[in-house]
Amino acid sequence: MQPLRFQVVGEAFKKKPLDVKAPAERPSEYFGKKVFNREKMYKYLPKDVYQVMVDVIDNGARLDRKVADAVAEGMKRWAVENGVTHYTHWFQPLTEGTAEKHDSFIEHDGKGGMVEEFSGKLLVQQEPDASSFPSGGIRSTFEARGYSAWDPTSPVFIIDDTLCIPTVFISYSGEALDYKAPLLRALHAVNVAATEVCKYFDPNVKKVQSNLGWEQEYFLVDEGLYAARPDLLLTGRTLMGHDSAKNQQMDDHYFGSIPERVAAFMRELEIVALELGIPCKTRHNEVAPNQFELAPIFEETNLAVDHNMLIMSVMKRVARKHGFRVLLHEKPFDGINGSGKHNNWSLSTDTGVLLHAPGKTPEQNLRFATFIVETLMGVYRHNGLLKASIMSATNAHRLGANEAPPAIISSFLGKQLSELLDHIEKADKDDIFSIGGKQGLKMDIPEIPELFIDNTDRNRTSPFAFTGNRFEFRAVGSEANCASAMITLNSAVAEALAEFKVRVDALIAKGKSTTEAIVEVLRADIKACKPIRFDGNGYSDEWVAEATKRGLDVEKSCPKIFERYLDKESIKMFESLGVMTKKELEARNEVKWETYTKKLQIEARVLGDISMNHIIPVATSYQSDLLQNVQNMANIFPAQKATELSARNLKLIEEIAERTSTIERMVEELVDARKVANKIADEHAKAIAYHDTVEPKFDAIRYQIDKLELIVDDSLWPLPKYRELLFIR
């Protein structure tokens, strides 16, 4: 009988790609088919209600109960026509995933029968049991109330037979228990601050919108192989496994021909995504074997975050239909590239992108320079906090590993933009700006007209790089909720812009012209934020030393990085903008520390279990076979000849004994370290203990197991190997 590993490998390789056929219509015709978007609202809502909803979505107008009832009725009619029987408030708790409780439309009709009903009250608010969601001590476990409230700016959508309503999730006492509520507050803050600054240049600007374009990297593995790996199943990554002789060193997977089975999966995923209104644009092979990427067109940040959470859920469902499992862990395989989720961020008004150059007028070019510099100011002031916003137990494996930016936040601008800022800072004021007669403001900066061109190479070691008309926040992890990074980034920029306006207004009050005041403040800020600008190799040891001199945060310990949320500067920023209170920040950090500890606890237990119950029994069984072989040699051949023939086996027997003994000892030490850490009551101290005393033992155990993998008979080895996991047939 073949070992389990070969059975599952064989079954996995037999799978044929599903025959996925796109709908008869063009993608543009079925895009948003399962979304209650403006087109559906116009069709299913009374005209006056539709106009109110447009005002709510575009301008943040309040929604009264009568309008909510009419919207709910229209939604229900559309949903029932599409086979929907249930509805759910779809929210994003602090578990890093999404949550939903399904209720049917049916109610008693008072005559012994049932009727489909859906009121504005049910649409706008629900009360899911919140007792088991992470709260960080905001509430006691026995306090079960939590409220989900409809977010009208993110369209309702259909999954199977359920109407999904995007919502915020708050506690009984009003604190946010999710990611959406503080994200909406941060987006409001940057809108207010940026709009006020825009009025210096164009008084007609009424709204500034934050935009996000995420790039989702992921791995696919055969479902049968996945099922035979307890570490993948329980932790999302391989805790052991020797390098495959061939992995990514030939660079042949990157942008290569997409495997047939994967292409079928991608086609179906895109069809489902487009029907859900997710504007999928790009798909391709990534650097590592079995690694791929999906990217949409830019969207408003809140909607983009919802769509990313939705696509991660949808891709898991679609993958299983094709015999795959999706791996979103940042580092599922050792020795090859991990997965990130680049967050391309920008700001725009109804007149265009604020980070766009060149402008048609000097005022527009000055506006461009202003928003670039104040973005850098926000990133500089809160570089440690921005790192904390993307840090996790899983992303810590990826950052700085010659495949992702280092755990030091810096910004790459490129030669021309750097020269532009240096020019503004150092040149005499009259050399840059002049005001005269009907010509108005003149701006003598020759570099600006060329900035719109791709004038410089990209720097993949930069966590926050300017890439033409946006900044690319490259450090975000593959399985992360983008909201975490977007809350911090938009808040930091909002704070910088608000302070910029206060200083400019103060100079204007002293008699300076608006242009003179803006330039004076800009020059001071260009000089102040210079430490965050770095165009060199972020992987070098020299950069770590230089970043330390510049006062940037170079901490690498994940639990300690989370401390930046509780710095007085962070608390002041979030509270002054109305994004999060100190109480909410403290609670979220408790959740972060607890989540970090739990992830390492699970990995430690899984590693110990596989070591003792899978690896050592198989290794000792093979050792027994070798011993039997040596004994048989002694029975057949003369002593000297038997010794010569058995030399290799004797060497292997000794090595297996030494390595299994070492593994047993190390696992015992791992268990002891975990027990000591588990006794620590304070979540912060416990997370640090796990980082300092538990996690370092993982690689030492893995090293011994990976060496055994090269020794033990391949037919006996209990786990699918990298050479099987990493190549789809």
Contact 479, 199 (CB under 8 A): no
**pLDDT number for residue 439:** 39
Q: Radius of gyration (Cα) for the chain, nearest Å?
A: 29
Using CA atoms, how far apart are residues 350 and 348, in angstroms rounded to an integer? 7
Using CA atoms, how far apart are residues 422 and 529, in angstroms rounded to an integer? 12
Using CA atoms, how far apart are residues 525 and 538, in angstroms rounded to an integer? 24
* Burial class, 108, CB count within 10 angstroms (exposed 0-12 / middle 13-18 / buried 19+): exposed
**pLDDT number for residue 441:** 45
Using CA atoms, how far apart are residues 345 and 329, in angstroms rounded to an integer? 23
**pLDDT number for residue 691:** 98
Pairing verdict, β 464-466 and 411-412: parallel
**pLDDT number for residue 343:** 97
**pLDDT number for residue 110:** 78
Instruction: Write the CB contacts of 285 (distance below 8 Å, at least 6 apart in sequence).
Output: 253, 254, 255, 256, 257, 258, 291, 292, 293
**pLDDT number for residue 434:** 40
Spans of the chain below 50 pLDDT: 1-2, 13, 433-441, 446-453, 455-457
User: pLDDT tens digits for 135-144?
Assistant: 777 765 555 5
Taking the CA atoms of residue 694, residue 700, residue 704 and residue 710 in that order, the dihedral angle to the nearest 10 degrees is: 110
**pLDDT number for residue 419:** 85
Please tell me the pTM assigned to this model.
Answer: 0.93
Using CA atoms, how far apart are residues 173 and 146, in angstroms rounded to an integer? 9
Closest CA to 178 of 212, 213, 148, 210: 148
Instruction: Write the CB contacts of 126 (distance below 8 Å, at least 6 apart in sequence).
Output: 89, 101, 147, 148, 167
